[in-house]
């Protein structure tokens, strides 16, 4: 294993305990519709384990989950593995241009907002706040 892959894998593994506490689902076909049909908004996280930007986003998301339990309770967080699903309908239907894309989808199945390659706390928090507002509307 090369050093870059090792470092990315180690960083991702460090987040597993924190993200595992949230309503986190590893994407499989149909997961988005099942979550939306259950009445919760969704945040889709298009990630790759080797992506540094994705890891930076996940650190912010882990912090948000720690700071506000409502994110865990009211929003379904679905991780979409870019390497597996980049050519699949879930990616094509939303016009996802690249990994490190976060998309909030409301209970009405419409896109609430998206971030592409953004790692700022305020931007990611605003996306989760929009999903939370949809959950409580």
DSSP state string for 6-19: HHHHHHHHHHHHHH
Q: Which helix (H) or strand (E) holds 100?
A: none
Structural domain boundaries, residue 86: 3-136
Which pLDDT tens digit goes with each residue over 2-52?
A: 555 444 444 444 444 434 334 689 999 999 999 999 999 999 999 999 999
Q: Locate 63 and state its tokens.
A: 């912090």
DSSP state string for 37-65: HTT--EEEEEE-TT-HHHHHHHHHHHHHH
Q: What is the pTM of this model?
A: 0.82
* pLDDT given at position 24: 84
Share of the chain above pLDDT 70, in %: 83
Mean pLDDT score of the chain, rounded to an integer?
87
Answer whether residue 111 shows pLDDT above 90: yes
* pLDDT given at position 23: 65
| Count of structural domains within the chain | 1
For residue 105, the domain's CATH number is 3.40.30.10
């Amino acid at each position: 294993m090369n050093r870059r892959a090792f470092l990315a894998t180690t960083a991702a593994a460090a987040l597993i305990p924190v993200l595992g506490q949230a309503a986190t689902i590893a994407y499989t076909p149909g997961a988005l519709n099942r979550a939306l049909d259950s009445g919760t908004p969704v945040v889709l996280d298009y990630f790759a384990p080797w992506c540094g930007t994705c890891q930076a986003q996940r650190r912010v998301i882990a912090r948000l989950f720690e700071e506000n339990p409502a994110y865990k309770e009211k929003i379904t967080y679905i991780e979409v593995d870019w390497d597996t699903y980049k050519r699949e309908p879930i990616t094509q239907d939303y016009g996802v241009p690249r990994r490190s894309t976060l998309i909030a989808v409301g209970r009405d199945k419409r896109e609430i907002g998206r971030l592409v390659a953004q790692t700022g706390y305020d931007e990611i928090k605003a996306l989760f706040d929009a999903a939370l507002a949809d959950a409580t509307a």
